[in-house]
Amino acid sequence: MEITLADFLTIDLPAMLVGTLAGIPCALLGTFLVLRRQALIGDALSHVVLPGIVAGFMISGSIATLPMMAGALAASVIAVLLIEAIRRLGRLETGAAMGVVFTVMFAAGVVMLEQGVGTRVDLDAQHALYGAVELTYWRGPTDWASLLDPAIWAALPHSITVLAAVALLTVALVLLFYKELKITTFDPALATSLGIRASWVNAGLILMVAVAAFEAVGSILVIAMFICPAATARMLTDRLSRQLVLSVVFAILSGILGYVFAAFVPLWIGAANSLTAAGMIAAVGGVFQLLAMLFAPRYGVVARALSRRGEIPA
């Protein structure tokens, strides 16, 4: 089946942009989450934003981004505070406290949706889980030359603009607070003794995670992009700065390749329909991570097995 350039620019390019732009902030923040042993906070928050979005809609009655975003952020803050409170009061491990909080809040979101809200707004739990990378269209560009026309850019889908803004903001904040993020991740006690409020940095990081989780499409893509690119990069380098760059590279690669495998490959091999892109992006992210875990030059399973064999004198 032939894919025309105009189709590509209208359907596929915006979807690829959504997939990659959503992944970039997740990968950057995920790098810190993985190092802080908080990888599952991303998981928890990506579920928790659902009741927040629904509540934001119910209170404001509109599907504008702002009230829903406010709801999502409020829900995230509540969730994090609850997790911390339960962990301390119940003297529980973080995982258990998280398991309680995010499931209950997600369940609340699901019930609220099913009880009528869902019929009035184009929102459902599956959408929140999968997201729909494919549903973004860019009406306008017909060929490469038309991309030079400013009017075409004015027609850029709103969601892409917002995703790009969030990605840029995340990059800027990580650069600006690189030093603080690094020291509070590595040695929070030292940070406190130096007068750097570790709790403020944590709160800022969690808020950014919540924003990224809200803006990106579908919790599965979010969780995968929080963890897989960061974990892949973690296998490959011992430098934080390099790890951040690599994680972004893998997020972008996953976004593009995932979309290609979901949208084009099935058609090339003769199937009638394409597959879901968000799931495929997560799967590609997982494949990258698997390859890194196996074949990373220094820390990969293969390299370590070989070097261990080398140590034993023949």
Partner 1 sequence: MLAHFWSILSLQAGYNTSVVLIGVTLLGIGSAAIGTFVLLRRRALISDAVGHATLPGVGLGFLTAYALGLDGGRNLPILLIGAGATGALGILSVQWIRDHTRLPEDAAIGTVLSVYFGIGTVLLSYIQSLPGGARAGLNSFLMGQSAALSLAEVWIIGAGSVVVILLCLLFFKEFKVLCFDQDFATAQGWPVRKLDLLMLALLLLAVSIGLKTVGLVLIVALLVIPPVAARFWTDDLKGMTLIAGVFGGLSGYLGAAASALVPRLPAGGVIVLTAGALFAVSLIVAPKRGVIAGAIRQLRFRWGEAERRGLMAVADGRNPTPVQAGILRLKGFLDRAGQPTARGLEAARATARDQALWLRYLEDFPQEAMACEDWARVPIDRVLPGDLVAELERRLRLAGS
Partner 2 sequence: MLRAVEPLEQAIAARAGTAAPLAVRDLTVAYHRKPVLWNVDFTAPAGGRIAIVGPNGAGKSTFIKAVLGLVPRVGGEVLVFGKPVESQRRAIGYVPQRESVDWDFPTSAVDVVAMGLYGRLGWCRPVRRRHLEEARAQLDRVGMADFADRQIGQLSGGQQQRVFLARALAQDAQLYLMDEPFAGVDAATERAIIDVLRELERAGRTVICVHHDLQTVPEYFDHVLLLNLRRIAAGPVKEAFTEANLQRAYGGRLAPPELVAAVRG
> Which residues sit at the interface with partner 1, rule CB under 8 A?
34, 37-40, 42-43, 47, 86, 89-93, 95-100, 103-104, 106-108, 110-111, 114-115, 125-126, 129-130, 220-221, 223-224, 226-228, 230-231, 234-235, 262, 271-273, 275-276, 278-283, 285-286, 289, 293, 299, 301
Distance in Å, CB of 250 to partner 1, minimum: 13
Cα of first residue to Cα of last residue in the chain, in angstroms, is 58
Stretch that binds partner 2, among 38-46, 48-56, 170-178, 254-262 (CB under 8 A): 170-178
Give the integer Cα–Cα distance in Å for 36 and 231: 12
Distance in Å, CB of 189 to partner 2, minimum: 5
Q: Which of 137, 144, 186, 295 binds partner 2 (CB under 8 A)?
A: 186
Distance in Å, CB of 174 to partner 2, minimum: 12
Distance in Å, CB of 94 to partner 2, minimum: 16
Write a three-state SS string for 13-25: HHHHHHHHHHHHH
57-79 per-residue burial string, b: 16 or more CB within 10 A, e: under 16: bbeeeeeeeebbbbbbbbbbbeb
Tokens at 189, concatenated:
């006690």
Give the integer Cα–Cα distance in Å for 75 and 123: 17
SS3 for 187?
coil
Give the integer Cα–Cα distance in Å for 292 and 304: 13
Which residue's CB is nearer to partner 2, number 88 or number 120?
88
CB atoms within 10 A of CB 143: 11
Residue 231 identity: A
Which residue's CB is nearer to partner 1, number 9 or number 292?
292
Stretch that binds partner 2, among 5-13, 130-138, 210-218, 230-238 (CB under 8 A): 230-238
Q: Which residues bind partner 2 (CB under 8 A)?
A: 35, 176-180, 182-183, 185-187, 189-196, 234, 237-240, 242-243
